[in-house]
Amino acid sequence: MSEYQFYEFRAIDKPLSKEDKAQIGSWSSRTNPTNTGAIFTYNYGNFPKDEIAVVEKYFDAMFSISNWGTTRLIFKFPKNLLKLDRIKQYSTEDGLKIIEKSDFVILDIEYSEEGGGNWMEGEGWLTSLISLRDDILNEDYRCLYLIWIKNSIAAIEGGWGNINSDTYEPQVPEQLNELNGALNDFVEIFEIDKDYITVAVKNSKLNNVVKPIELALYLDRLCENEKQEFLVRLLNDEPFISIKLKTRLKDFIDISDISTMEESKRTIGEIMQKVNKIKRERKNKEKIEREEKQVQKMLKLEGQEIEIWAEVYRLIAEKNAKGYDGAIKLLKELKDLSIYKNRFSDFCNKLEMVRTKYSRLSGLTSRIMAAKLIALK
């Protein structure tokens, strides 16, 4: 099996220049850069540049995936727009890395599974995930918490990293129970166990997100000069002006205006115990459902046992592969029924009569032996 590596870069805040596109295009004949991005796909060989350095100089986002189990999402942000003190709590050695520069910050989200996970094509994923960058700028850190819990549990289960079961979780973001489309795609591409989310939701506040329509109530707190200044900046298409206005309006919000709930931080060990409990309960429920389904099936077969044996003989009499296969399928069901009724010896006697009667039919005999109808497992 050949290797597969996919890289997609995206320029968001400003388009690539003609010179930028020429430089990027010179790295590989596999790409044709546009004003807003470039894609590189490899079945042999590797991407020739350092991804972080490329994002630093040219782009604002990158997504990459390989068929040996590494998935990576990188975002670059203007440094003055991020709440770094809040974001750092989600940083882990192998999950979220934070790279600070003088004017910008890079968040490097990565998960690697040795031997590869549920590998998929990379095309289209960055388009699905790109809105997470705006979410982070708007202080929505749900994707950062999700990659934290994914990597933290994986580190403990795999015995790597500097996280242990006594490590406390960071702040659980609001509304984890209401994932948007980008977050659902994030969960899928990074293979985040939804049981983790079920447990995390227990500590997730539901109504504390301040909506834009609520922020509008604070517009009157701005003086006329400040309002005029924001309007002029809007007319000049200043980047991130919406986020800057929201940040300014949040300065007027009294913490007592927002509903609060007591948050009790949990350790990774406690979270894992709750996750395992959910899995056990689901497994037990599925087992009960299977057993009930099997009972119903056996009761139905019991009422048709005579007819099924007659059908076995009819199918064998066709003396062809299709008939033999149909007979074996019915014999397997009759065997299950005999075990359920504690009459397996009766089944063996009847099957022996079938073998004796049709001993010259080698196709049937070989199928009976292959199906192991006599050997009780």
Across the chain, mean pLDDT equals 87
Q: Is 251 exposed, middle or buried (0-12, 13-18, 19+ CB in 10 A)?
A: exposed
Structure tokens at 282: 């689901």
Q: What is the pTM of this model?
A: 0.75
pLDDT at 210 over 60: no
- Model pLDDT for residues 327-339, shown as the tens digit of each residue: 999 999 999 999 9
The percentage of residues in the chain with a pLDDT greater than 70, rounded to a whole number, is 92
Mean pLDDT of 57-75: 93
* CB-CB neighbours of 270 under 10 Å: 16
- Model pLDDT for residues 190-200, shown as the tens digit of each residue: 999 999 999 98
Q: Are 156 and 165 in contact (CB under 8 A)?
A: yes
Residue that wins the pLDDT comparison between 127 and 69: 127
Q: Are 79 and 100 in contact (CB under 8 A)?
A: yes
Q: Are 172 and 200 in contact (CB under 8 A)?
A: yes
Q: What is the reported pLDDT for 241?
A: 80
Q: What is the reported pLDDT for 262?
A: 47
CA of 204: how far to CAs of 181, 237, 258, 301, 305, in Å? Answer: 19, 36, 15, 50, 55
Q: What is the reported pLDDT for 301?
A: 92
- Model pLDDT for residues 255-290, shown as the tens digit of each residue: 544 444 445 688 999 999 999 999 999 999 999 999
Q: Are 331 and 373 in contact (CB under 8 A)?
A: yes
pLDDT at 217 over 80: no
Q: Is 346 left (phi over 0), alpha (psi -120 to 50) or beta?
A: alpha
Q: What is the reported pLDDT for 212?
A: 62
Q: In angstroms, rounded to a whole number, what is the distance separating the alpha carbons of residues 260 and 262?
A: 7
pLDDT at 158 over 90: no
Q: Mapping DSSP to helix (H, G, I), strand (E, B) and coil, where does residue 8 land?
A: strand
Q: What is the reported pLDDT for 237?
A: 79
Residue that wins the pLDDT comparison between 3 and 310: 310
Q: In angstroms, rounded to a whole number, what is the distance separating the alpha carbons of residues 218 and 221?
A: 5
Q: Are 61 and 76 in contact (CB under 8 A)?
A: yes
Q: What is the reported pLDDT for 87?
A: 95
- Model pLDDT for residues 83-95, shown as the tens digit of each residue: 999 999 999 877 8
